[in-house]
Amino acid sequence: MRIVIENAAIATVDAAGTEHAAGHVVVDGGLIEAVGAGPAPAGEADRHVDRRVDATGCLVTPGLVNTHHHLYQWATRGLAQQSTLFEWLVELYPVWAGIDDEITHAAALAGLVRLAKTGCTTVADHHYVFPRGAGDLLAPIVAAAGAVGVRLHAVRGSMDRGESRGGLPPDSVVEDGDEALAATAEAIDRYHDPARESFVRVAVGPCSPFTVTTELMSQAAELARARGVRLHTHLAETVDEEEQCLAELGCTPMEYAERTGWLGEDVWLAHGIHFADGAVARLGATGTGVAHCPTSNARLGAGTARVADLLAAGAPVGLGVDGAASNEDGGLGVELRQSAYLARLRGGPASLSARDALRLATMGGARCLGRQDELGSLEPGKLADLAVWRIDGVEHAGIADPVAALVFGALPSVALLLAGGRPVVEEGACRTVSEVDTAAGLRAASAALLKKAPR
């Protein structure tokens, strides 16, 4: 498919921050062929064009990159509404113990549709609940991403420290460490595609310091490096976590990460809120990424990440939605404004600009996932993942700066979303799967899961 998009404002998010008030993007196959000011170059008309899009009144940005999610949690939204992270987890673990292939597929499909409708073309899904006998729960997530048509980074999570070993989760939802490692290696064999244009990659993701043994943390890092895949875990999300880490392990979460091999350019950490100055500097020096999840952090009252400081230190920072059980909206575009505002509550109105927020959601996320050469900006030769946002309605009329309209205004409808050059969303509706069927499937899955849950 060769698609020519014209007459749109364009924010390329390239290194120079190039923008065009009225420009064009040409997509050929899965790649971006041309980006520039004005109409597509003369001579274009002579070449074969499958589709010409008049994007007057729209802003084109790179497709957004979601660096942290738990798709299965779409089946458990609206619960534990006023709980801290630990209280919330303790309430939800027994419910999550009931997930199976069907529930996970229905939840993933719904979550991915919502993400696509909010401008997201790449999703890192951290799946760490594998109840005994529930099978390979990555398969339904990979299938759902294939159906919706977005890129997936399937993080094979794990927990091996249940209550009987001093961990937070009940023993019924944790795995044996060796079995978890073997299943992770198998997931890499089965699903990981290292190709540049890949739609499915696998990362290694033991869940958190309070659900995983030190042995599994260290061995998981070794496995990831032996196999050349990336590493992802939750770190420094709450004060409770830090206190528990200090009491049980005698170190801060950051020192624990260092000790277990969890710093480096191949690592990105979810949340990264409670870091002292030295830890922020260490993340920057090692190139360790942070998946910033502003809405989830606010929902759980976890704290506000030091995003401006992390950026100043040189750490890659991307945006994450986190699981929909702690962010019922589940959309990524919304996090643009959330990240800007949360940073400003912390550091004042100059601490994060609208363009900084857009960069977090695009290039920042691509860096976290090690795909900065493939994704995250609109430049010739990069993969054809882009969002065309409609900003000519009453919600945005009169905002002369299109990026401010996107970040500060109401979340615009997505007029067109391309992933690898293929349309996923058009005029605000998902074109690849039925939204009506997806919603019905999610309702049934949530009801089935809650029915199974112990009371």
Stretch that binds Zn ion, among 12-20, 55-63, 267-275, 349-357 (CB under 5 A): 267-275
Nearer to Zn ion, 67 or 446 (CB): 67
Taking the complex as a whole, the smallest distance from the CB of residue 364 to Zn ion amounts, in Å, to 17
Stretch that binds Zn ion, among 14-22, 269-277, 382-390, 396-404 (CB under 5 A): 269-277
Taking the complex as a whole, the smallest distance from the CB of residue 207 to Zn ion amounts, in Å, to 8
User: Across the chain, which distance is largest between two alpha carbons, in Å?
Assistant: 70
Nearer to Zn ion, 1 or 298 (CB): 298
Taking the complex as a whole, the smallest distance from the CB of residue 410 to Zn ion amounts, in Å, to 27
Binding string, residues 212-251; x marks residues near Zn ion by CB under 5 A: ----------------------------------------
Q: Note whether 154 and 194 are within 8 A (CB).
A: no
Taking the complex as a whole, the smallest distance from the CB of residue 323 to Zn ion amounts, in Å, to 6
User: Closest-CB residue for Zn ion?
Assistant: 322
Span 307-326, contacts to Zn ion by CB under 5 A: 322
- Kindly give, in sequence order, each residue whose CB lies less than 8 Å from that of residue 335, ignoring residues fewer than 6 positions away: 293, 294, 295, 319, 320, 321, 361
Nearer to Zn ion, 326 or 438 (CB): 326
Cα distance between residue 276 and residue 359, in whole Å: 24
Nearest to 324 by CA among 153, 166, 118, 133: 118
Nearer to Zn ion, 234 or 367 (CB): 234
Taking the complex as a whole, the smallest distance from the CB of residue 173 to Zn ion amounts, in Å, to 15
Nearer to Zn ion, 30 or 209 (CB): 209
Nearer to Zn ion, 270 or 300 (CB): 270
Taking the complex as a whole, the smallest distance from the CB of residue 1 to Zn ion amounts, in Å, to 35
Taking the complex as a whole, the smallest distance from the CB of residue 296 to Zn ion amounts, in Å, to 7
Nearer to Zn ion, 26 or 129 (CB): 129
In the complex, which residues of this chain contact Zn ion (CB under 5 A)? 270, 322
